[in-house]
Amino acid sequence: MLQAREKRVQRQEEMLRSCSCLVCFTMNIAGPYKISDCIMRAFAEGVAKIYRLLEQNGIQTIKAEQIVEKTGVEGYISLNEDPLKIKRLMVQIEDNFELGRLFDIDVIKPDGEKVSRADIGMDGRNCMICGSEGSGCARSRKHSVEDLQQHFISRICNYFNNQYADWLAQQAVKALMYEVSVTPKPGLVDRADNGSHSDMDFYTFINSSTALYDYFKKCTLKAIELCDKTPQTLFSNLRYLGLEAENKMYQHTFGVNTHKGAIFSFGLIVAATAYLSENGQNVSAENILDVCAQMAQLSMEDFEDQNIHKSFGKQLFKTHNIKGIRGQAAAGYPAVRGAYPLLCQLMRDGASVDEAGVKVLLKLLCEVQDTNIIKRSDEQTLIKVQSRAREIADGDNVSEHLRQMNDEFVKLNISPGGCADLLAICFLLYFIGE
């Protein structure tokens, strides 16, 4: 450690010869182990924050170095700026960034002296564990090295887990927004009209989609927490979160069911994605849907439960063996496995979101036993819809034919809501895959 300190001073002196101040960035780590994948990841995040803040303030870097030693990782950035100004900027990171308390960002003047927090009118830093005056805890050794290490690792893990959960929740909300925005969609809410729905519009879907953000994040974090358990155990823990999400949806839509099917499917998909990622497995669409299938097998038990309320889905299962979205999920979403590659191909080929979305929706309409259509009409109507969808898919002027189909659906009061949910799943997998 003494040799490392001497080397650090020499390096600082060399770099200060060609600049007016030097930023020296290290990690505030207790104990003998100063290098790990976790530490390096947090260090890289800190470096990125420093560069971003300098860039936002129009400050150019003269020279930068990073040194990795057994004694820790060090970053150096030389600048031609007022040291006090740079210290004020670096304190912003230390005090406001989630990992900032784990960073030591020193600003060194040309004479080799550090700019202290007192020099810019700031108080000293508090203890990262108890919040007391930091130097007092250090002098008295109030906290053990083990406690400090545990706190350090826990804070880093929580930060990156939340960052990943935020990202995945963003993709889920974006997928819902893309689905409702695709136009034209026969019988469905889109940017042009409300389709066959008199109780909802485009803005109802915006309210519902944004309200579900926390649910998607919770599903992701639950999957990370239970990554060492079976997918079936994970599914059991997701059920309560799904019920909470349904209640929240109804609160934001004033009792209208906009996303009940998507709550079920998207909860599975974001959880499966996080589950694979946390276990170091390939996060491919195929693997995601495989894990969904393992989880969703438990949902099929509801059809055998004699005490469950007699829902339309259960009636369809008993009379026609149509399993709806649960059956799709338990089988690993076969309709999505067929439609998702089409979406990817269309997007690669430069199709607009509307063009790609309506073609994928048509493919789904041709193949899926949409229980929403049956509920609003009958099986014969579904068969006619599928036949009509095949004709349109094989012809030209797809959008114009879909607008005509929308008029027909409105007159018949039918809506392919199940296919809409599957289209949204395709978008979600596409965003995850990007």
Residue 166 confidence (pLDDT):
98
Q: Is residue 361 part of a domain?
A: yes
Residue 303 confidence (pLDDT):
52
Quick one: angle between helices 145-181 and 260-278, nearest 10? 140
Tens of pLDDT, residues 87-124: 999 999 999 999 999 999 999 999 999 999 999 999 98
**Cβ neighbours of residue 271 closer than 8 Å, sequence gap 6 or more:** 219, 220, 222, 223, 234, 235, 238, 295
Residue 149 confidence (pLDDT):
82
Judgement on whether residues 233 and 363 belong to the same structural domain of the protein: yes
Read off the CATH number of the domain in which 420 is found: 1.10.4200.10
The DSSP secondary structure of 91-150, one letter per residue, reads HHHHHHSTTGGGEEEEEE-TTSPBPPTGGGT-PPPBPTTT-SBHHHHHHHT-S-HHHHHH
Judgement on whether residues 331 and 189 belong to the same structural domain of the protein: yes
The total of other beta-carbon atoms located within 10 Å of residue 301's CB is: 10
Question: For 115-119, 161-165, 188-192, 297-301, which range has the lowest pLDDT when averaged over its residues?
Answer: 297-301
Quick one: angle between helices 417-433 and 334-348, nearest 10? 60
For residue 93, give its domain range: 2-120
Q: Is residue 143 part of a domain?
A: no
Q: Which residue has the higher pLDDT, 311 or 123?
A: 123
What SS3 state is found at 51? Answer: helix
Judgement on whether residues 223 and 94 belong to the same structural domain of the protein: no
Judgement on whether residues 114 and 172 belong to the same structural domain of the protein: no
Q: Is residue 290 part of a domain?
A: yes
pLDDT reading at 313 higher than 60: no
Residue 393 confidence (pLDDT):
87
| Alpha-carbon dihedral sign for residues 22, 23, 28, 33 | negative
Tens of pLDDT, residues 35-83: 889 999 999 999 999 999 999 999 999 999 999 988 789 999 999 999 9
In angstroms, rounded to a whole number, what is the distance separating the alpha carbons of residues 124 and 126?
Answer: 7
In angstroms, rounded to a whole number, what is the distance separating the alpha carbons of residues 346 and 352?
Answer: 8
What number is the average pLDDT over the span 289-307? 79
Residue 132 confidence (pLDDT):
79
Judgement on whether residues 285 and 349 belong to the same structural domain of the protein: yes
Q: Is residue 125 part of a domain?
A: no
Tens of pLDDT, residues 221-252: 999 999 999 999 999 999 999 999 999 999 99
Number of domains in the chain: 2
Tens of pLDDT, residues 335-363: 999 999 999 999 999 999 999 999 999 99
Last residue of a domain, one of 68, 91, 120: 120
Find the angle CA(110)-CA(3)-CA(27) to the nearest 5 degrees. Answer: 70
Read off the CATH number of the domain in which 57 is found: 3.30.70.260
Last residue of a domain, one of 91, 120, 149: 120
Q: Is residue 76 part of a domain?
A: yes
Q: Is residue 210 part of a domain?
A: yes
Residue 311 confidence (pLDDT):
54
Residue 33 pLDDT level (bands cut at 50, 70, 90) = confident
Judgement on whether residues 115 and 208 belong to the same structural domain of the protein: no
Judgement on whether residues 38 and 180 belong to the same structural domain of the protein: no
Judgement on whether residues 191 and 289 belong to the same structural domain of the protein: yes
Residue 323 pLDDT level (bands cut at 50, 70, 90) = low
pLDDT reading at 139 higher than 80: no
In angstroms, rounded to a whole number, what is the distance separating the alpha carbons of residues 154 and 151?
Answer: 5
Residue 79 φ then ψ, to 5°? -140, 155
What's the predicted TM-score (pTM) here? 0.88
**Cβ neighbours of residue 212 closer than 8 Å, sequence gap 6 or more:** 172, 173, 176, 245, 248, 249, 259, 262, 263, 266
User: The tokens of 156 are what?
Assistant: 């880093």
Q: Is residue 211 part of a domain?
A: yes
Judgement on whether residues 298 and 378 belong to the same structural domain of the protein: yes
Judgement on whether residues 245 and 384 belong to the same structural domain of the protein: yes
Residue 320 confidence (pLDDT):
46
In angstroms, rounded to a whole number, what is the distance separating the alpha carbons of residues 249 and 389?
Answer: 31
Residue 413 confidence (pLDDT):
93
Judgement on whether residues 266 and 415 belong to the same structural domain of the protein: yes
Residue 301 confidence (pLDDT):
66
Judgement on whether residues 115 and 167 belong to the same structural domain of the protein: no
| Alpha-carbon dihedral sign for residues 100, 104, 109, 113 | positive
Last residue of a domain, one of 86, 120, 154: 120
Q: Is residue 131 part of a domain?
A: no
Residue whose tokens read 């005090």: 95
Burial class (CB in 10 A: 0-12, 13-18, 19+), 99: buried
